[in-house]
A and B are shown apart, each in its own frame.
Chain A
Amino acid sequence: MQDQPTALERFINGILPENPVYRQLLGMCPTLAVTGGMKPAITMAGATAFVLILANIIISLIRGLLKPHLRILVFTLTIATFVTIVDRFLAAYLYEMSKELGPYVPLIIVNCLIISRVEICASKQSVRVAVADGVGMSLGFALALASIATVREILGSGTWFGLQVLGEGWPAWGIMVLPPGAFLTLGLLLGGAEWYGQWRSRRRARAGG
């Protein structure tokens, strides 16, 4: 138990050092599917955050009762319950957004990000650490979704959060809001993140030596 990270470490790790999208390549379906614009991306990040934090709390509370062979089933059923709540909530209060996100809200159930956090952190550590981990990971996920959505929405339709950013004469790159644009943007951004990491470690090595 003593070599498990503390709450603060979990929180900071989630945002950048272990960013779910750029570092761990988790939760790719929503990352690619809902980042055509900022609004759906932020809604998705919020829904995922709600499910992740609450599932972390519940699993952390019952972690003493879990049996190894039934563990995954308990995880998925807990997550499915919270996803149903989010889905009904969106359908009631943000109907247009719920239509736009379509099947990707229920697909949060099989988002590997949530299952992996519940398995790695919440089923082993106290509620305090689990909440910190959930909040940190959610922020990291939101950051990643927002970065991709920013690139795609600005290039694809010249707007950001629906506000005109580039001039009227901007020839909207239609491909960026279509599926291929999602793959290309994420591929190039991953390459950029990797390049930045390598550059930093080279510089640190030079400074140290």
Chain B
Amino acid sequence: MVRAVALAQASQGRGIGGGMETLSSIILIFISAALINNFVLHYFVGICPFLGVSKRVDTAFGMGLAVIFVITIASFLSWTFTYFILRPEAPIPVWVWRVVGGSPDTTVDLSVLSYIMYIFVIASSVQFVEMYVRKFFQPLYDSFGVFLPLITTNCAILFACLEIMKHLQDPTRLWGLGEALTLAIGGGVGFTIAISLMAGIRAELDLCDVPRSLKGAGIALIVAGIMAMAFMGFTGVDRGVERAITALVGG
């Protein structure tokens, strides 16, 4: 019974009437993840590659593409696991609970296992992606193969999984797969933008006379601070876009 209610509530938001609303919410999620709440410059996740792999623009861009690739796969897997197994009142554990004869009043909640599950999903999907790309897409492997193992410990991936998990807690407003993937891709695009800009600025910085004690990480962090200030200028863009979409649909 609980399962049926949860599924009915979950499908409400994605009914036929909600098509336009879903589209606008997807656009908003993307803009918010890529620009306004940029993963690197607002949430500080993925700082290690942001400082470590941003010496040259082409390697930085390759790292960004690899992150987009892995973040999408990991988010797909973690949304699937969270939706069906890990969230409170998820269908599969509830069904198992009924089959073994548990009391129907108990709330079935496996979310305590989610961190272990996510890190397992990320580590194994990185491994599989690496093997698959090496076997079938040799040129692609040559261009970003070296970055793939590094991504396991990139906090941006785990952060995307955690954000998706946060939106799967309340049974009345559940995120669909589309929204989850949009957040992941938006975050990956935001990471790519930030790391590529950073690499461009650092290439120019090599020609500048930086104080000796600030060379390396110090000046990179100060540049990142100024970039973060610039990205604060995007605040409110989402509301403008929302108004534009509403006007478009209304007119």
Contact = CB atoms under 8 A, between A and B. Distances in A.
Interface of A: 25, 28-29, 32-33, 72-73, 76-77, 80-81, 83-84, 87-88, 103, 106-107, 109-112, 115, 175, 178-184, 186-188, 190-192, 194-195, 198
Contacts, number: 113
A176 to B, nearest CB: 11
A194 B213 contact: yes
A180 B229 CA distance: 6
B222 A28 contact: no
B51 A25 contact: yes
Interface in B54-100: none
Contact of A183 (B48, B123, B162, B224): B224
A89 to B, nearest CB: 12
A103 B120 contact: no
A195 B115 contact: no
B44 A179 contact: yes
Chain A interface SS verdict (over half): helix
Contact of B232 (A76, A83, A178): A178
B102 interface: no
Contact of B123 (A33, A76, A81): A76
Interface of B: 41-48, 51, 112-113, 115-116, 119-120, 123, 152-155, 158-159, 162-163, 166, 211-214, 217-222, 224-226, 228-229, 232
Contacts of B153: 110, 112, 115
A192 B44 CA distance: 22
Given A76-B123, A180-B228, A109 B48 contact: no
B226 A180 contact: yes
Contacts of B159: 103, 107
B232 A180 contact: yes
Nearest to B157: A110
A29 B219 contact: no
Contact of A29 (B155, B213, B229): B155
A119 to B, nearest CB: 11
Contacts of B113: 84
A183 B154 contact: no
Nearest to A22: B217
B40 to A, nearest CB: 10
Contact of A186 (B45, B46, B211, B221): B221
A179 B41 contact: yes
Contacts of A88: 112
A183 B38 CA distance: 14
Nearest to A183: B225
30 contacts: A25-B51, A28-B48, A28-B51, A29-B46, A76-B119, A80-B119, A81-B116, A88-B112, A106-B162, A107-B155, A107-B158, A107-B162, A110-B155, A112-B153, A179-B42, A180-B228, A180-B232, A183-B222, A183-B224, A184-B221, A187-B222, A187-B225, A190-B214, A190-B221, A191-B213, A191-B214, A191-B219, A192-B213, A194-B214, A198-B212
Contacts of A178: 228, 232
B47 A29 contact: yes
9 smallest CB-CB distances across A and B, nearest first, come from A183-B225, A187-B221, A195-B213, A187-B222, A184-B225, A191-B218, A28-B47, A194-B213, A180-B228
Contacts of B120: 73, 77
B163 A103 contact: yes
Contact of B218 (A33, A107, A182, A188): A188
Contacts of B123: 72-73, 76
B213 A80 contact: no
Contacts of A83: 115
A32 B47 contact: yes
B44 to A, nearest CB: 4
